[in-house]
Amino acid sequence: MLDKKIYELINDQINKELYSAYLYLDFSNYYEEAGLQGFSNWYYVQAQEERDHAMLFLKYLQNNGHKIVLKEIAKPDKELKDNFTPLKEGLKHEQYVTSLINNIYSAANEVKDFRTIQFLDWFVKEQGEEETNADNLIKKMELFGNDAKSLYMLDNELKARVYTAPSLVL
């Protein structure tokens, strides 16, 4: 059995990850409507990743004998006013998720819950990659976004992204 605080933090993380999926679906829809199918695809894949992150947390609790308490998923509330906004909001959101993972990690460390720490190691690494990817996308958009031909090429590059399910063994 997990420490009560760790159980609650992980159960809450399920909801946060599902919210992340909703948020990225909203970004995907924005770009689809703007005619940028590559950007839309990039965030659609992000939404799939976040959904699977939620499932990993859910399965971890189940494997440790805990009841899952699903909560209402908030509606994304970001005002998407231009092509830069989802990118910047995406980076801020990834930084927020990193803080949540770090908080769970810290709580697990306090009670010497090494199994949870080992489980979270993958998420710590994943969050580093997520922040780097989000930051790189902003930099590319800053470099190329104002030039139609370059934006077209960047959009085509993002169309090639495919979803790969996480290989985390629980």
pLDDT, position 73: 96
Q: Left (φ > 0), alpha (ψ -120 to 50) or beta: where does 165 sit?
A: beta
The pLDDT, as a whole number, for residue 12 is 98
User: Other C-beta atoms within 10 Å of 47: how many?
Assistant: 20
pLDDT at residue 1 in the model: 80
Instruction: Tell me which fold the domain 4-159 belongs to.
Output: Ferritin (1.20.1260)
DSSP codes joined into one string, 105-145? HHHHHHTT-HHHHHHHHHHHHHHHHHHHHHHHHHHHHHHHT
Residue 164 has a pLDDT of 87
Q: In this predicted model, what pLDDT tens digit does every residue of 38-54 receive, in sequence order?
A: 999 999 999 999 999 99
Residue % of the chain over a pLDDT of 90 = 93
Question: Beta-carbon neighbour count of residue 76 at 10 Å?
Answer: 18
With 70 as the cut, is the pLDDT of residue 67 above it?
yes
pLDDT at 102 over 90: yes
- State the chain's mean pLDDT as an integer: 95
137 vs 143: CA distance, rounded Å: 10
**pLDDT above 80: residue 170:** no
Compute CA distances 108 → 8, 9, 12, 123, whole Å: 12, 10, 15, 14
129 Cβ partners below 8 Å, 6+ apart? none
Q: Domain segments of the chain: what residues?
A: 4-159
